[in-house]
Amino acid sequence: MEKTLNRIHPVSDPEATYFLQVSWEKNLSTGFGLLLSDCQCAWTGTVSEADISREAADIEMDREKYVAELRKALIAREESAGKYNFVIS
């Protein structure tokens, strides 16, 4: 299993610091787990392969392109720094 951990500052509360861990088996396209923490509380969730396909279809984006965008937003922080914003609600 592979994992990444990134520090994020959501646009909804720029002074706050959260940590986002993403874990996956083979690649993001088969689904992944999320853990979000503000160092006081933690929230977990999973995104299935079916969820990914449904989201890509909902926004009318090619599935592979959608997975590539997920990778950039959730994992490849250095190459996409400043390109993606997070809103915590």
- Mean pLDDT, contiguous 10-residue spans, the chain (89 residues): 90 92 92 96 96 97 95 77 79
Q: Which helix (H) or strand (E) holds 52?
A: helix 49-58
The arrangement of secondary structure in 2-75, i.e. its CATH architecture, is Beta Complex (2.170)
- Domain residue ranges in the chain: 2-75
Q: How far apart are CA 74 and CA 18, in angstroms?
A: 13
Give this prediction's pTM: 0.84
Sheet holding 42-48, edge to edge: 2-8, 18-24, 31-37, 42-48
